[in-house]
Structure 1
Amino acid sequence: MFGTKKKNGTPLVKSQERFDTLIGRQTEIHGSLRLMQSVRIDGKVIGNIEAPKDQAITVVVGAEGEIQGDVFARRVVVAGKVSGNIDAYERAELHASALVQGDVKYGSIAVEHGARLQGLLLQVDASQAKPQPDHAKDAIRKAQATGATE
């Protein structure tokens, strides 16, 4: 009862994940990233980030990190800014300093007090969550190529 306090761990404890790829604070990348391993972003990425659904890949956006594009990964942890949709097949975590301007699809979620979201939270069955291509852009390309619309 008294003495040592039992530590249950908060939902947003620091993970022991190993990052082979780090995008530093002074780095800005323009273009889509196709991941084969977990990545931590402390700089800026302008473009979509996609990881295969069948691989345990995590995308972490540090407090100074920024993504302008959609993120598709098994686990997505945001402490910085994401201007785009997030599709976290398994888990999404939004830390107190997070700003997400877009919809978040997730299997499970943890949100710290103070996190900001300008969009929808959409829980999906983790076994059914799949990255969805941008059908509108595909339809526009097809229409431009053939002169027809769907």
Structure 2
Amino acid sequence: MFGGNSGNNSSSKSSTSTSVGVDTLIGRQTEILGDVRFTGGLHVDGKIKGKVIASADKAAALSVSEHGSIEGDVRVPNVVLNGTVTGDVHASQKIALSAKARITGNVFYRIIEMESGSKVNGQLVHDDGTGASENFSGGTAAKAEGGSDPQSDELSEARRVKGIVNG
């Protein structure tokens, strides 16, 4: 993700993460007040007070260093977080939370990877691409507000455990 396109490197490890170079860098001493819309790769070492939104490109990626912070909602297909986000995070493809990652808000994800020490103060809501999001409190997000079906709750619990094990 970080470091750009280095050409054909046969010695590099294969990975399931999307490899996108950094097109935009927000430095440690920079504070942006307002929404940020971008394409490609965005790396944040500074502060953003506003929404961070990627284009419709499924390869767009956001990385936030341990010094970086965002106060606002994030809508980016691929997120690598080691800093803080205060707001909801919508990662339509994958989110990776490093050890120092802190989120105060809900996380909507398709694939999640969490290192020991990362913290989320909100709900984790799985989106399998069908539009029926499931959260870790059981059932679909819409059903979480309604009545409870024991068989459906058991299935949701099984999916939750599978999601934790498989990452």
Q: TM-score under structure 2 normalisation?
A: 0.66
Distance 1:18 1:9, change over 3 A: closer
Q: How far did 1:10 drift?
A: 8.8
Q: How far did 1:54 drift?
A: 3.6
CA distance in 1, matches of 2:125, 2:32: 28
Structure 2: which amino acid aligns with 1:67?
Answer: I
Structure 2 residue 37 is the aligned partner of structure 1 residue 52: no
User: Which residue does the alignment assign to 1:90?
Assistant: 93
Q: How far did 1:17 drift?
A: 3.0
Deviations 1:31-50 (A, max 9, x none): 00111221000000000011
User: Which residue does the alignment assign to 2:29?
Assistant: 26
CA distance in 2, matches of 1:89, 1:39: 16
Structure 2 residue 76 is the aligned partner of structure 1 residue 68: no
Give unmatched runs, 5+ long, in structure 2.
1-12, 133-167
- Conservation of the 8 A alpha-carbon contact between 1:90 and 1:126: no
User: Which residue does the alignment assign to 2:159?
Assistant: none
Structure 2 residue 42 is the aligned partner of structure 1 residue 39: yes
Per chain length, whose mean CA-contact separation is higher, i.e. which structure has more relative contact order (CA < 8 Å, sep 6+)? 1
Deviations 1:44-72 (A, max 9, x none): 00000111234410011111000000000
- Conservation of the 8 A alpha-carbon contact between 1:94 and 1:115: yes
- Residues 98-113 of structure 1: matches in 2 within 5 Å? 98-113=101-116
Structure 2 residue 131 is the aligned partner of structure 1 residue 125: no
Structure 1 runs (4+) greater than 4 angstroms displaced: 8-11
- Conservation of the 8 A alpha-carbon contact between 2:20 and 2:59: no
SS at match of 2:77: strand
Structure 1: which amino acid aligns with 2:41?
Answer: S
Residue-pair matches, total: 120
